[in-house]
Chains A and B, each alone.
Chain A
Amino acid sequence: MKTLNEIPRQNPFKVPENYFEEANRRIIASAADTSNVVAKTGLYRRLRPYLIAAASIALIAVLSYTAARILIPGTSEPAIPELSAEEFSSSYIDYIDVRTLEDGTDPAALSDEIPMLSKPEIIDCLMLENIDLNDIYELL
């Protein structure tokens, strides 16, 4: 079997003569044509006053709700404990059977050179193989 090291690391692609000089000139000219967006203020900066106002209102609402929960008796705990998004995805990932994922992989392709992967990393790796995330969940 031929290894990658036996093939010289060359660039087989070509470009027209003076391409890069001409491309740079065109790009800079395009940027000059859209100079009305030069030094545009970032979206975050423009929205910042509104975000601060919204955050203040949200904080007041949370404090009011908390005060009401403390002061007004008779509120009950939810029947199902709520999870944060992070806790939910962690608990879901725990259900994934790593062995089932590995069954589809040729053992010869695996070697000591591959680092030990966590379950989220295995999912990331499968997604690099163009396997859809929903398909991964459905299979398990």
Chain B
Amino acid sequence: MSINNPDFDIIQLLKTDVNKGFRLVVEKYSTKLYWHIRRLVILHEDADDALQNTFINAWKNIGEFRNESALYTWLYAIATNESLALINKRKRTASVSLDDIGSYLSNSMEGSTWFDGDEAQVKLQNAILKLPEKQRIVFNLKYFDEMTYEDMSRVLKTSEGALKASYHHAVKKIENYLGEN
């Protein structure tokens, strides 16, 4: 692991004082991870649950964190998996099919106290919710988080070429939806 790694100091601290190091991890990444999760699960209450679970999971596995991967892609991978687990749970509890989960989340979003978008934002979010889950993750990570394809490849364990193509298709689908609505 290179000294140029932005998390080098935190990783070194995790080895010598894991409690202090973990506190720094939480302070540095909780906001970013929350918004990544929120864009997937939509509801604030669900995002809060998934964020807690993400850090509990990270804490339990902090001793096994392999230094060759970046801390933040490791955290993003955990957060993504927690979000998908929560979405799958919602499908079961709400008896929603795979195809309807986007509509379910869209209705939840528009009825939520914690959503404050104008008409254009509502349309954009609805367009994003029409994407298949995994493609939605790709789109969000690129468009909102401006993650590099190299880092995204580590988060999603998918080739960079496939991610680039998937993002390109996602943009086309969203623009088609915006044009039709």
Contacts and interface: CB of A to CB of B under 8 A. Distances in A.
Interface of A: 1-4, 7-16, 19-20, 23-24, 26-28, 30-32, 34-35, 37-44, 109, 111, 113-115, 117-118, 120-125, 127-130
B103 interface: no
A122 to B, nearest CB: 7
A3 B175 contact: yes
B30 A114 contact: no
Interface residues of B, number: 57
Interface of B: 18-19, 22-23, 26-27, 30-31, 34-35, 38-39, 44, 48, 51-52, 55-56, 59-60, 63-64, 98, 114-118, 120-122, 124-125, 132-135, 138, 143-144, 158-159, 161-166, 168-169, 171-172, 174-176, 178-179
Contacts of B179: 1-2
A124 B167 CA distance: 13
Given A30-B55, A114-B168, 12 more contacts: A12-B122, A12-B125, A20-B30, A28-B26, A38-B18, A38-B19, A40-B63, A118-B161, A123-B162, A128-B162, A128-B163, A128-B166
